[in-house]
Structure 1
Amino acid sequence: LMRDAPLGIVTQSPNIMDLVKCDGAVLFYRNKIWRLGITPSDLQLQDIAFWLSEYHMDSTGLSTDSLYDAGYPGALALGDVVCGMAAVRITSKDMLFWFRSQTAAEIRWGGAKHEPGEKDDGRRMHPRSSFKAFLEVVKTRSLPWKDYEMDAIHSLQLILRNTFKDIETMDVDTKTIHARLSDLKIEGMQELEAVTSEMVRLIETATVPILAVDVDGLVNGWNTKISELTGLLVDKAIGKHLLTLVEDSSVDIVKRMLFLALQGKEEQNIQFEIKTHGSKSECGPICLVVNACASRDLHENVVG
Protein backbone atom coordinates (compact mmCIF):
# COMPACT_ATOMS: atom_id res chain seq x y z
CA LEU A 1 0.00 0.00 0.00
CA MET A 2 2.85 2.41 0.75
CA ARG A 3 4.74 1.98 -2.53
CA ASP A 4 5.39 5.38 -4.14
CA ALA A 5 3.45 7.10 -1.35
CA PRO A 6 1.36 9.13 -1.38
CA LEU A 7 0.02 8.62 -4.93
CA GLY A 8 0.66 4.88 -4.82
CA ILE A 9 -2.19 4.47 -2.33
CA VAL A 10 -4.69 5.32 -5.09
CA THR A 11 -2.85 4.38 -8.29
CA GLN A 12 -1.57 0.92 -7.38
CA SER A 13 -2.97 -2.31 -6.00
CA PRO A 14 -3.73 -2.84 -3.18
CA ASN A 15 -5.10 0.67 -2.64
CA ILE A 16 -6.94 2.53 0.11
CA MET A 17 -10.25 0.89 -0.81
CA ASP A 18 -8.73 -2.43 0.24
CA LEU A 19 -7.94 -1.09 3.71
CA VAL A 20 -11.55 -0.99 4.96
CA LYS A 21 -14.95 -1.96 3.58
CA CYS A 22 -16.20 1.00 1.56
CA ASP A 23 -17.85 1.96 -1.71
CA GLY A 24 -15.41 4.69 -2.65
CA ALA A 25 -12.29 6.54 -1.53
CA VAL A 26 -10.58 9.84 -2.34
CA LEU A 27 -7.14 11.38 -1.93
CA PHE A 28 -6.87 15.17 -1.72
CA TYR A 29 -3.22 15.98 -2.45
CA ARG A 30 -1.70 19.32 -3.43
CA ASN A 31 -5.04 20.72 -4.64
CA LYS A 32 -5.68 17.70 -6.85
CA ILE A 33 -8.27 14.94 -6.41
CA TRP A 34 -7.83 11.20 -6.98
CA ARG A 35 -11.10 9.22 -6.81
CA LEU A 36 -11.78 5.49 -6.54
CA GLY A 37 -15.17 3.76 -6.67
CA ILE A 38 -18.41 5.56 -5.79
CA THR A 39 -17.71 9.05 -4.49
CA PRO A 40 -19.20 12.54 -4.55
CA SER A 41 -18.31 14.74 -7.53
CA ASP A 42 -15.23 16.96 -7.43
CA LEU A 43 -17.38 20.01 -6.57
CA GLN A 44 -19.16 18.08 -3.80
CA LEU A 45 -15.81 16.86 -2.47
CA GLN A 46 -14.50 20.40 -2.36
CA ASP A 47 -17.67 21.43 -0.52
CA ILE A 48 -17.21 18.61 2.02
CA ALA A 49 -13.56 19.61 2.52
CA PHE A 50 -14.62 23.22 3.06
CA TRP A 51 -17.30 22.12 5.56
CA LEU A 52 -14.71 20.09 7.47
CA SER A 53 -12.30 23.03 7.55
CA GLU A 54 -15.06 25.32 8.83
CA TYR A 55 -16.68 23.09 11.46
CA HIS A 56 -14.07 20.45 12.26
CA MET A 57 -10.83 22.39 11.87
CA ASP A 58 -9.52 21.40 15.30
CA SER A 59 -9.91 17.67 14.70
CA THR A 60 -7.59 15.43 12.70
CA GLY A 61 -10.56 13.72 11.08
CA LEU A 62 -14.22 12.74 11.23
CA SER A 63 -16.13 9.47 10.95
CA THR A 64 -19.90 9.20 10.69
CA ASP A 65 -22.47 6.75 9.36
CA SER A 66 -24.68 9.70 8.41
CA LEU A 67 -23.42 12.93 6.90
CA TYR A 68 -26.98 14.19 7.30
CA ASP A 69 -26.96 13.61 11.08
CA ALA A 70 -23.43 15.03 11.27
CA GLY A 71 -24.82 18.32 10.02
CA TYR A 72 -23.36 18.42 6.51
CA PRO A 73 -25.71 20.79 4.59
CA GLY A 74 -25.31 18.98 1.28
CA ALA A 75 -26.05 15.49 2.60
CA LEU A 76 -29.48 15.13 0.97
CA ALA A 77 -28.05 16.15 -2.41
CA LEU A 78 -25.71 13.15 -2.20
CA GLY A 79 -28.73 10.83 -2.12
CA ASP A 80 -28.38 7.24 -0.95
CA VAL A 81 -25.14 6.76 -2.91
CA VAL A 82 -23.02 8.48 -0.24
CA CYS A 83 -24.23 8.48 3.36
CA GLY A 84 -21.32 7.54 5.61
CA MET A 85 -17.82 9.00 5.56
CA ALA A 86 -14.50 8.60 7.30
CA ALA A 87 -12.04 11.44 6.68
CA VAL A 88 -8.57 12.09 8.08
CA ARG A 89 -6.07 14.91 7.63
CA ILE A 90 -2.54 14.02 6.59
CA THR A 91 -1.40 17.64 6.35
CA SER A 92 -3.17 20.95 6.89
CA LYS A 93 -4.28 20.87 3.23
CA ASP A 94 -4.23 17.18 2.26
CA MET A 95 -6.89 14.62 3.23
CA LEU A 96 -8.10 11.05 2.76
CA PHE A 97 -11.77 10.10 2.48
CA TRP A 98 -13.67 6.80 2.56
CA PHE A 99 -17.37 6.70 1.63
CA ARG A 100 -20.19 4.23 2.23
CA SER A 101 -23.59 4.00 0.59
CA GLN A 102 -26.95 3.68 2.33
CA THR A 103 -27.35 0.71 4.69
CA ALA A 104 -30.47 -0.58 2.94
CA ALA A 105 -28.41 -1.41 -0.11
CA GLU A 106 -26.44 -3.87 2.03
CA ILE A 107 -29.47 -5.68 3.53
CA ARG A 108 -31.10 -8.78 2.07
CA TRP A 109 -34.50 -9.32 3.77
CA GLY A 110 -35.39 -12.97 4.53
CA GLY A 111 -38.58 -12.59 6.57
CA ALA A 112 -42.00 -14.09 5.88
CA LYS A 113 -43.82 -12.88 2.80
CA HIS A 114 -47.33 -11.46 2.77
CA GLU A 115 -49.92 -13.83 1.49
CA PRO A 116 -52.27 -12.36 -1.12
CA GLY A 117 -54.95 -10.30 0.58
CA GLU A 118 -53.26 -10.47 3.99
CA LYS A 119 -53.11 -7.23 5.97
CA ASP A 120 -51.54 -6.15 9.24
CA ASP A 121 -53.95 -5.83 12.09
CA GLY A 122 -53.76 -2.96 14.55
CA ARG A 123 -52.40 -5.13 17.37
CA ARG A 124 -49.51 -6.77 15.51
CA MET A 125 -47.03 -5.40 12.94
CA HIS A 126 -46.23 -7.83 10.15
CA PRO A 127 -42.48 -8.41 9.52
CA ARG A 128 -42.65 -6.69 6.12
CA SER A 129 -44.25 -3.58 7.61
CA SER A 130 -41.63 -3.71 10.34
CA PHE A 131 -38.91 -3.76 7.67
CA LYS A 132 -40.49 -0.77 5.91
CA ALA A 133 -40.34 1.16 9.16
CA PHE A 134 -36.73 0.08 9.60
CA LEU A 135 -35.88 1.39 6.12
CA GLU A 136 -37.14 4.82 7.14
CA VAL A 137 -34.76 4.71 10.12
CA VAL A 138 -31.68 3.69 8.11
CA LYS A 139 -32.35 6.09 5.25
CA THR A 140 -29.37 8.50 4.84
CA ARG A 141 -27.32 6.14 7.01
CA SER A 142 -24.53 3.71 6.15
CA LEU A 143 -23.08 0.76 8.00
CA PRO A 144 -21.20 2.08 11.04
CA TRP A 145 -17.43 2.25 11.05
CA LYS A 146 -15.96 -0.50 13.25
CA ASP A 147 -13.25 0.27 15.80
CA TYR A 148 -10.73 -1.95 14.02
CA GLU A 149 -11.49 -0.16 10.74
CA MET A 150 -10.85 3.23 12.32
CA ASP A 151 -7.63 1.85 13.86
CA ALA A 152 -6.48 0.85 10.36
CA ILE A 153 -7.41 4.30 8.98
CA HIS A 154 -5.58 6.12 11.78
CA SER A 155 -2.52 3.89 11.33
CA LEU A 156 -2.39 4.84 7.64
CA GLN A 157 -2.88 8.48 8.64
CA LEU A 158 0.18 8.37 10.93
CA ILE A 159 2.31 6.62 8.31
CA LEU A 160 1.35 9.16 5.65
CA ARG A 161 1.94 12.09 7.98
CA ASN A 162 5.53 10.93 8.48
CA THR A 163 5.91 10.36 4.75
CA PHE A 164 4.56 13.84 3.98
CA LYS A 165 6.91 15.36 6.55
CA ASP A 166 9.83 13.76 4.69
CA ILE A 167 8.47 15.08 1.38
CA GLU A 168 7.97 18.58 2.81
CA THR A 169 11.46 18.46 4.34
CA MET A 170 12.85 17.44 0.96
CA ASP A 171 10.94 20.30 -0.71
CA VAL A 172 12.24 22.76 1.89
CA ASP A 173 15.78 21.43 1.48
CA THR A 174 15.47 21.72 -2.30
CA LYS A 175 14.16 25.29 -2.03
CA THR A 176 16.97 26.12 0.40
CA ILE A 177 19.55 24.68 -1.99
CA HIS A 178 18.09 26.62 -4.93
CA ALA A 179 18.01 29.79 -2.85
CA ARG A 180 21.61 29.27 -1.79
CA LEU A 181 22.67 28.59 -5.38
CA SER A 182 20.92 31.80 -6.43
CA ASP A 183 22.75 33.66 -3.67
CA LEU A 184 26.03 32.13 -4.78
CA LYS A 185 25.25 33.04 -8.37
CA ILE A 186 24.55 36.64 -7.35
CA GLU A 187 27.68 36.69 -5.20
CA GLY A 188 29.62 35.17 -8.09
CA MET A 189 28.30 37.77 -10.52
CA GLN A 190 29.11 40.57 -8.09
CA GLU A 191 32.59 39.16 -7.63
CA LEU A 192 32.98 38.81 -11.39
CA GLU A 193 31.86 42.40 -11.90
CA ALA A 194 34.38 43.52 -9.29
CA VAL A 195 37.17 41.57 -11.01
CA THR A 196 36.11 42.89 -14.41
CA SER A 197 36.06 46.46 -13.14
CA GLU A 198 39.53 46.01 -11.69
CA MET A 199 40.81 44.52 -14.96
CA VAL A 200 39.36 47.43 -16.93
CA ARG A 201 41.04 49.87 -14.55
CA LEU A 202 44.39 48.07 -14.89
CA ILE A 203 44.09 48.01 -18.68
CA GLU A 204 43.17 51.68 -18.83
CA THR A 205 46.08 52.72 -16.63
CA ALA A 206 48.65 50.26 -18.03
CA THR A 207 51.95 51.72 -19.24
CA VAL A 208 51.93 49.44 -22.28
CA PRO A 209 49.52 49.60 -25.25
CA ILE A 210 46.55 47.23 -24.94
CA LEU A 211 43.73 46.75 -27.43
CA ALA A 212 40.90 44.24 -27.77
CA VAL A 213 38.57 43.09 -30.54
CA ASP A 214 35.37 41.03 -30.66
CA VAL A 215 34.85 37.83 -32.68
CA ASP A 216 34.29 39.94 -35.81
CA GLY A 217 37.59 41.77 -35.39
CA LEU A 218 35.95 45.04 -34.37
CA VAL A 219 37.80 47.06 -31.74
CA ASN A 220 36.07 47.03 -28.32
CA GLY A 221 39.05 47.91 -26.16
CA TRP A 222 41.60 50.70 -26.64
CA ASN A 223 43.59 51.86 -23.63
CA THR A 224 45.13 55.24 -22.90
CA LYS A 225 48.67 54.21 -23.86
CA ILE A 226 47.82 53.01 -27.37
CA SER A 227 45.71 56.12 -27.83
CA GLU A 228 48.78 58.24 -26.98
CA LEU A 229 51.03 56.28 -29.34
CA THR A 230 48.69 56.29 -32.35
CA GLY A 231 46.95 59.63 -31.80
CA LEU A 232 43.60 57.86 -32.25
CA LEU A 233 41.13 58.62 -29.46
CA VAL A 234 39.16 55.80 -27.83
CA ASP A 235 35.77 56.90 -29.20
CA LYS A 236 37.23 56.99 -32.72
CA ALA A 237 38.84 53.56 -32.43
CA ILE A 238 35.91 51.65 -30.91
CA GLY A 239 33.89 49.84 -33.57
CA LYS A 240 36.54 50.00 -36.30
CA HIS A 241 37.93 46.79 -37.76
CA LEU A 242 41.47 46.19 -36.58
CA LEU A 243 42.66 45.45 -40.12
CA THR A 244 41.74 49.01 -41.15
CA LEU A 245 44.00 50.40 -38.42
CA VAL A 246 47.18 48.52 -39.36
CA GLU A 247 49.54 49.18 -42.24
CA ASP A 248 48.83 47.28 -45.47
CA SER A 249 52.10 45.42 -45.09
CA SER A 250 50.90 44.00 -41.75
CA VAL A 251 47.35 42.97 -42.76
CA ASP A 252 48.20 39.30 -43.41
CA ILE A 253 50.16 39.02 -40.15
CA VAL A 254 47.34 40.54 -38.10
CA LYS A 255 44.69 38.52 -39.95
CA ARG A 256 46.50 35.27 -39.08
CA MET A 257 47.00 36.43 -35.49
CA LEU A 258 43.26 37.17 -35.13
CA PHE A 259 42.27 33.86 -36.71
CA LEU A 260 44.43 31.82 -34.33
CA ALA A 261 43.41 33.86 -31.28
CA LEU A 262 39.71 33.36 -32.03
CA GLN A 263 40.41 29.63 -32.24
CA GLY A 264 41.80 29.83 -28.73
CA LYS A 265 45.42 29.57 -29.87
CA GLU A 266 47.63 32.20 -28.27
CA GLU A 267 50.74 33.68 -29.86
CA GLN A 268 53.64 35.70 -28.50
CA ASN A 269 56.00 38.34 -29.86
CA ILE A 270 53.98 39.09 -32.98
CA GLN A 271 55.35 42.16 -34.75
CA PHE A 272 53.25 44.45 -36.94
CA GLU A 273 52.89 48.13 -37.84
CA ILE A 274 49.88 50.23 -36.88
CA LYS A 275 48.83 53.55 -38.41
CA THR A 276 49.11 56.88 -36.60
CA HIS A 277 46.61 59.73 -36.63
CA GLY A 278 46.42 63.47 -36.09
CA SER A 279 49.67 65.08 -34.99
CA LYS A 280 51.23 61.61 -34.60
CA SER A 281 50.82 60.84 -38.31
CA GLU A 282 53.85 63.03 -39.10
CA CYS A 283 56.01 60.45 -37.33
CA GLY A 284 54.72 57.62 -39.50
CA PRO A 285 53.45 54.20 -38.36
CA ILE A 286 54.62 52.67 -35.13
CA CYS A 287 55.85 49.12 -34.69
CA LEU A 288 54.23 46.95 -32.02
CA VAL A 289 55.45 43.63 -30.64
CA VAL A 290 52.45 41.99 -29.01
CA ASN A 291 51.14 38.87 -27.35
CA ALA A 292 47.72 37.73 -28.57
CA CYS A 293 45.33 35.84 -26.29
CA ALA A 294 41.66 34.88 -26.40
CA SER A 295 38.95 36.36 -24.17
CA ARG A 296 36.31 33.88 -22.93
CA ASP A 297 32.88 34.19 -21.35
CA LEU A 298 31.54 32.30 -18.31
CA HIS A 299 30.89 29.26 -20.51
CA GLU A 300 34.46 29.24 -21.82
CA ASN A 301 33.36 30.41 -25.26
CA VAL A 302 35.83 32.64 -27.12
CA VAL A 303 34.32 36.12 -27.42
CA GLY A 304 37.38 38.12 -28.57
Structure 2
Amino acid sequence: MAEPYSRVFFGDRIVDADQAKLGVATSAMLYGLSVYTVFPVQVDGGTRSVFRLADHFQRLVESCKIIGIDRFAGEWDFERFAAATRELVAENDPQRDVFVRASVHVDESIPGTRVRGCGITVSMFVYDAVPIVPQDGMRLKTSQWRRIPDDAIPSRAKVNGAYVNSVLAKQDAIDAGYDDAIFLDTQGHVCELSAANIFLVRGGTVVTPDVSSDILDGINRRTILTLAAEDGIPVVERAVDLTELYIADEVFVTGTSAGVSPVIEVDGRAVGDGRPGPISGALRKRHTAALRTDVEHGWVTPI
Protein backbone atom coordinates (compact mmCIF):
# COMPACT_ATOMS: atom_id res chain seq x y z
CA MET A 1 0.00 0.00 0.00
CA ALA A 2 1.33 3.42 -0.97
CA GLU A 3 2.07 5.97 1.74
CA PRO A 4 1.50 9.73 1.38
CA TYR A 5 4.58 11.84 0.82
CA SER A 6 5.64 13.99 3.75
CA ARG A 7 4.37 17.37 2.57
CA VAL A 8 0.70 18.03 1.85
CA PHE A 9 -1.43 20.97 0.81
CA PHE A 10 -4.01 21.79 3.47
CA GLY A 11 -6.25 24.83 3.60
CA ASP A 12 -4.12 27.44 1.87
CA ARG A 13 -0.53 26.27 2.33
CA ILE A 14 1.91 23.35 2.36
CA VAL A 15 2.34 21.65 5.74
CA ASP A 16 3.81 18.44 7.14
CA ALA A 17 1.42 15.52 6.75
CA ASP A 18 0.90 15.16 10.50
CA GLN A 19 -0.32 18.78 10.68
CA ALA A 20 -3.12 18.27 8.13
CA LYS A 21 -6.03 17.43 10.42
CA LEU A 22 -9.80 17.76 10.35
CA GLY A 23 -11.78 17.80 13.58
CA VAL A 24 -13.79 14.77 14.63
CA ALA A 25 -16.94 16.91 14.74
CA THR A 26 -16.71 18.19 11.15
CA SER A 27 -19.18 17.14 8.47
CA ALA A 28 -16.33 15.51 6.57
CA MET A 29 -15.86 13.12 9.49
CA LEU A 30 -19.46 12.77 10.64
CA TYR A 31 -21.09 12.26 7.24
CA GLY A 32 -18.27 11.62 4.76
CA LEU A 33 -19.12 15.01 3.30
CA SER A 34 -16.11 15.50 1.06
CA VAL A 35 -15.59 15.15 -2.68
CA TYR A 36 -12.34 14.26 -4.40
CA THR A 37 -10.44 13.50 -7.57
CA VAL A 38 -7.18 11.64 -8.24
CA PHE A 39 -4.85 12.52 -11.11
CA PRO A 40 -1.47 11.20 -12.29
CA VAL A 41 1.81 13.07 -12.39
CA GLN A 42 4.37 11.66 -14.81
CA VAL A 43 8.03 12.09 -13.91
CA ASP A 44 10.57 11.84 -16.75
CA GLY A 45 14.03 12.90 -15.69
CA GLY A 46 13.82 16.57 -14.79
CA THR A 47 10.35 17.12 -16.25
CA ARG A 48 6.95 16.56 -14.68
CA SER A 49 3.51 16.69 -16.22
CA VAL A 50 -0.11 16.13 -15.21
CA PHE A 51 -2.71 14.34 -17.31
CA ARG A 52 -5.99 16.20 -17.93
CA LEU A 53 -5.57 18.53 -14.96
CA ALA A 54 -8.31 20.93 -16.10
CA ASP A 55 -10.76 18.03 -16.37
CA HIS A 56 -9.94 16.88 -12.86
CA PHE A 57 -10.48 20.38 -11.52
CA GLN A 58 -13.78 20.57 -13.38
CA ARG A 59 -14.83 17.26 -11.82
CA LEU A 60 -14.24 18.73 -8.36
CA VAL A 61 -16.34 21.76 -9.31
CA GLU A 62 -19.15 19.57 -10.64
CA SER A 63 -19.07 17.18 -7.67
CA CYS A 64 -19.37 20.15 -5.33
CA LYS A 65 -22.25 21.57 -7.35
CA ILE A 66 -24.16 18.28 -7.35
CA ILE A 67 -23.77 17.81 -3.59
CA GLY A 68 -24.41 21.48 -2.80
CA ILE A 69 -20.95 22.46 -1.57
CA ASP A 70 -21.36 26.04 -2.73
CA ARG A 71 -18.18 27.75 -1.56
CA PHE A 72 -15.55 25.90 -3.57
CA ALA A 73 -16.30 27.44 -6.98
CA GLY A 74 -16.29 30.92 -5.45
CA GLU A 75 -13.00 30.47 -3.61
CA TRP A 76 -11.04 28.42 -6.17
CA ASP A 77 -10.41 28.77 -9.89
CA PHE A 78 -8.28 26.59 -12.15
CA GLU A 79 -5.23 28.84 -11.94
CA ARG A 80 -5.17 28.58 -8.15
CA PHE A 81 -5.67 24.82 -8.33
CA ALA A 82 -2.85 24.40 -10.85
CA ALA A 83 -0.54 26.58 -8.75
CA ALA A 84 -1.25 24.52 -5.62
CA THR A 85 -0.56 21.32 -7.57
CA ARG A 86 2.71 22.72 -8.88
CA GLU A 87 3.83 23.81 -5.41
CA LEU A 88 2.85 20.50 -3.81
CA VAL A 89 4.72 18.39 -6.35
CA ALA A 90 7.79 20.60 -6.18
CA GLU A 91 7.87 20.40 -2.37
CA ASN A 92 7.81 16.58 -2.46
CA ASP A 93 10.21 16.30 -5.43
CA PRO A 94 9.09 12.83 -6.60
CA GLN A 95 11.60 10.80 -8.59
CA ARG A 96 8.99 8.46 -10.09
CA ASP A 97 5.39 8.65 -11.23
CA VAL A 98 2.91 9.63 -8.53
CA PHE A 99 -0.79 10.25 -8.00
CA VAL A 100 -2.24 13.38 -6.42
CA ARG A 101 -5.49 13.13 -4.50
CA ALA A 102 -7.29 16.45 -4.16
CA SER A 103 -10.32 16.77 -1.87
CA VAL A 104 -12.82 19.40 -0.82
CA HIS A 105 -13.94 18.79 2.76
CA VAL A 106 -16.91 20.38 4.51
CA ASP A 107 -15.19 21.41 7.76
CA GLU A 108 -18.13 22.95 9.61
CA SER A 109 -18.54 21.44 13.09
CA ILE A 110 -21.85 19.79 14.01
CA PRO A 111 -23.95 21.66 11.45
CA GLY A 112 -26.50 18.87 11.14
CA THR A 113 -27.30 17.25 7.82
CA ARG A 114 -26.96 20.29 5.60
CA VAL A 115 -24.30 21.62 3.29
CA ARG A 116 -25.04 25.04 1.80
CA GLY A 117 -23.03 27.88 3.27
CA CYS A 118 -20.76 25.54 5.23
CA GLY A 119 -17.02 26.19 5.36
CA ILE A 120 -14.58 24.09 3.37
CA THR A 121 -10.98 22.94 3.52
CA VAL A 122 -9.08 21.82 0.42
CA SER A 123 -6.44 19.12 0.81
CA MET A 124 -4.00 17.57 -1.64
CA PHE A 125 -1.41 14.87 -1.11
CA VAL A 126 1.04 12.87 -3.22
CA TYR A 127 1.63 9.13 -3.22
CA ASP A 128 3.40 6.61 -5.45
CA ALA A 129 1.48 5.60 -8.57
CA VAL A 130 0.80 2.01 -7.52
CA PRO A 131 -2.12 0.47 -9.48
CA ILE A 132 -5.09 -0.67 -7.38
CA VAL A 133 -5.77 -3.70 -9.59
CA PRO A 134 -3.58 -6.34 -11.30
CA GLN A 135 -2.25 -5.14 -14.63
CA ASP A 136 -1.74 -8.54 -16.30
CA GLY A 137 -5.26 -9.95 -16.05
CA MET A 138 -8.02 -9.45 -13.49
CA ARG A 139 -10.55 -11.89 -12.09
CA LEU A 140 -13.90 -10.27 -11.32
CA LYS A 141 -16.96 -11.29 -9.33
CA THR A 142 -20.44 -9.85 -9.66
CA SER A 143 -21.22 -8.09 -6.40
CA GLN A 144 -24.12 -9.02 -4.17
CA TRP A 145 -24.26 -5.30 -3.38
CA ARG A 146 -26.03 -3.09 -5.95
CA ARG A 147 -24.63 0.22 -7.13
CA ILE A 148 -26.10 3.23 -5.36
CA PRO A 149 -28.54 4.76 -7.86
CA ASP A 150 -28.33 8.32 -9.12
CA ASP A 151 -31.48 9.26 -7.22
CA ALA A 152 -29.85 8.22 -3.92
CA ILE A 153 -26.19 9.34 -4.16
CA PRO A 154 -25.19 10.45 -7.68
CA SER A 155 -22.36 8.35 -9.09
CA ARG A 156 -21.09 11.19 -11.29
CA ALA A 157 -20.10 13.02 -8.09
CA LYS A 158 -17.07 11.54 -6.34
CA VAL A 159 -18.43 11.74 -2.80
CA ASN A 160 -16.20 10.23 -0.13
CA GLY A 161 -19.04 8.82 1.96
CA ALA A 162 -20.52 6.98 -1.03
CA TYR A 163 -17.43 4.80 -1.26
CA VAL A 164 -18.70 2.65 1.58
CA ASN A 165 -20.68 1.04 -1.25
CA SER A 166 -17.42 0.28 -3.08
CA VAL A 167 -15.72 -1.03 0.05
CA LEU A 168 -18.54 -3.50 0.67
CA ALA A 169 -18.36 -4.78 -2.90
CA LYS A 170 -14.59 -5.04 -3.20
CA GLN A 171 -14.03 -6.60 0.20
CA ASP A 172 -16.63 -9.26 -0.61
CA ALA A 173 -14.82 -9.98 -3.89
CA ILE A 174 -11.42 -10.19 -2.17
CA ASP A 175 -12.84 -12.48 0.51
CA ALA A 176 -14.10 -14.78 -2.25
CA GLY A 177 -10.66 -14.88 -3.92
CA TYR A 178 -11.27 -12.37 -6.72
CA ASP A 179 -9.51 -9.11 -7.56
CA ASP A 180 -12.50 -6.79 -7.71
CA ALA A 181 -16.28 -6.60 -7.99
CA ILE A 182 -18.70 -5.75 -10.78
CA PHE A 183 -21.58 -3.55 -9.69
CA LEU A 184 -25.03 -4.00 -11.20
CA ASP A 185 -27.71 -1.33 -11.01
CA THR A 186 -31.16 -1.91 -9.56
CA GLN A 187 -32.37 -3.20 -12.95
CA GLY A 188 -29.53 -5.72 -13.19
CA HIS A 189 -27.44 -3.87 -15.78
CA VAL A 190 -23.66 -3.60 -15.51
CA CYS A 191 -22.37 -0.34 -14.00
CA GLU A 192 -18.67 -0.40 -13.14
CA LEU A 193 -16.13 -1.85 -10.70
CA SER A 194 -15.56 -0.62 -7.16
CA ALA A 195 -13.37 2.20 -8.53
CA ALA A 196 -13.01 1.77 -12.30
CA ASN A 197 -15.09 1.90 -15.46
CA ILE A 198 -15.63 -1.28 -17.48
CA PHE A 199 -15.58 -2.04 -21.22
CA LEU A 200 -16.22 -5.14 -23.30
CA VAL A 201 -15.22 -5.97 -26.87
CA ARG A 202 -17.34 -8.13 -29.15
CA GLY A 203 -16.98 -8.49 -32.88
CA GLY A 204 -14.42 -5.69 -32.97
CA THR A 205 -16.75 -3.17 -31.30
CA VAL A 206 -15.97 -1.58 -27.93
CA VAL A 207 -19.05 -1.37 -25.69
CA THR A 208 -19.34 0.39 -22.32
CA PRO A 209 -22.23 1.30 -20.00
CA ASP A 210 -23.59 4.74 -20.81
CA VAL A 211 -23.53 7.66 -18.38
CA SER A 212 -27.14 7.01 -17.30
CA SER A 213 -26.16 3.55 -15.99
CA ASP A 214 -25.23 4.80 -12.50
CA ILE A 215 -21.54 5.12 -13.37
CA LEU A 216 -18.84 7.66 -12.73
CA ASP A 217 -18.32 9.55 -15.99
CA GLY A 218 -14.64 8.78 -15.70
CA ILE A 219 -11.96 10.97 -17.24
CA ASN A 220 -9.97 7.95 -18.37
CA ARG A 221 -13.19 6.41 -19.68
CA ARG A 222 -13.62 9.48 -21.90
CA THR A 223 -9.97 9.19 -22.93
CA ILE A 224 -10.42 5.60 -24.10
CA LEU A 225 -13.58 6.50 -26.03
CA THR A 226 -11.67 9.26 -27.82
CA LEU A 227 -8.63 7.12 -28.59
CA ALA A 228 -10.72 4.19 -29.83
CA ALA A 229 -12.71 6.41 -32.16
CA GLU A 230 -9.49 7.96 -33.54
CA ASP A 231 -8.14 4.46 -34.21
CA GLY A 232 -11.26 3.57 -36.18
CA ILE A 233 -12.58 1.16 -33.54
CA PRO A 234 -16.40 1.25 -33.35
CA VAL A 235 -17.60 2.41 -29.93
CA VAL A 236 -21.08 2.01 -28.41
CA GLU A 237 -22.32 3.47 -25.11
CA ARG A 238 -25.48 1.73 -23.87
CA ALA A 239 -26.99 -0.43 -21.16
CA VAL A 240 -24.98 -3.65 -20.77
CA ASP A 241 -26.30 -7.00 -19.51
CA LEU A 242 -24.11 -9.10 -17.22
CA THR A 243 -24.22 -12.09 -19.57
CA GLU A 244 -22.64 -9.97 -22.31
CA LEU A 245 -19.46 -10.02 -20.24
CA TYR A 246 -19.57 -13.83 -20.18
CA ILE A 247 -19.50 -14.07 -23.99
CA ALA A 248 -17.29 -11.06 -24.74
CA ASP A 249 -14.10 -11.43 -26.76
CA GLU A 250 -12.36 -9.03 -24.36
CA VAL A 251 -13.14 -7.15 -21.16
CA PHE A 252 -11.02 -4.37 -19.70
CA VAL A 253 -11.29 -1.60 -17.13
CA THR A 254 -10.02 1.97 -16.90
CA GLY A 255 -9.33 4.53 -14.21
CA THR A 256 -6.57 6.79 -12.96
CA SER A 257 -5.57 4.26 -10.30
CA ALA A 258 -6.43 1.23 -12.44
CA GLY A 259 -4.79 2.27 -15.69
CA VAL A 260 -6.09 0.20 -18.60
CA SER A 261 -6.24 -3.32 -17.21
CA PRO A 262 -7.44 -6.47 -19.00
CA VAL A 263 -9.95 -8.85 -17.41
CA ILE A 264 -9.44 -12.57 -17.98
CA GLU A 265 -12.26 -14.02 -15.87
CA VAL A 266 -15.79 -13.00 -14.82
CA ASP A 267 -17.73 -15.09 -12.30
CA GLY A 268 -15.56 -18.15 -12.95
CA ARG A 269 -15.92 -17.87 -16.74
CA ALA A 270 -12.88 -17.20 -18.92
CA VAL A 271 -13.09 -14.06 -21.02
CA GLY A 272 -12.31 -14.99 -24.62
CA ASP A 273 -9.37 -17.38 -24.58
CA GLY A 274 -8.47 -16.38 -21.02
CA ARG A 275 -5.70 -14.00 -22.07
CA PRO A 276 -5.55 -10.21 -22.55
CA GLY A 277 -6.93 -9.31 -25.98
CA PRO A 278 -5.50 -7.26 -28.86
CA ILE A 279 -7.90 -4.31 -28.76
CA SER A 280 -7.47 -3.68 -25.04
CA GLY A 281 -3.72 -4.10 -25.51
CA ALA A 282 -3.63 -1.54 -28.32
CA LEU A 283 -5.73 0.95 -26.36
CA ARG A 284 -3.51 0.45 -23.33
CA LYS A 285 -0.44 1.39 -25.37
CA ARG A 286 -2.20 4.45 -26.75
CA HIS A 287 -3.34 5.49 -23.28
CA THR A 288 0.14 5.05 -21.80
CA ALA A 289 1.63 7.20 -24.55
CA ALA A 290 -1.06 9.87 -24.15
CA LEU A 291 -0.30 10.20 -20.43
CA ARG A 292 3.14 11.54 -21.25
CA THR A 293 3.24 12.88 -24.75
CA ASP A 294 -0.23 14.03 -25.78
CA VAL A 295 -0.11 17.25 -27.79
CA GLU A 296 -3.11 16.99 -30.09
CA HIS A 297 -5.77 17.05 -27.37
CA GLY A 298 -4.04 19.37 -24.90
CA TRP A 299 -4.33 16.73 -22.19
CA VAL A 300 -0.79 17.07 -20.74
CA THR A 301 0.08 20.02 -18.50
CA PRO A 302 3.79 20.55 -17.64
CA ILE A 303 4.32 21.55 -14.01
Choose between structure 1 and 2: higher helix proportion.
Answer: 1
In the superposition, the TM-score normalised over structure 2's length comes to: 0.20
**Larger-gyration structure (1/2):** 1
More contact order relative to length (CA 8 Å, sep ≥ 6): 2
In the superposition, the TM-score normalised over structure 1's length comes to: 0.20
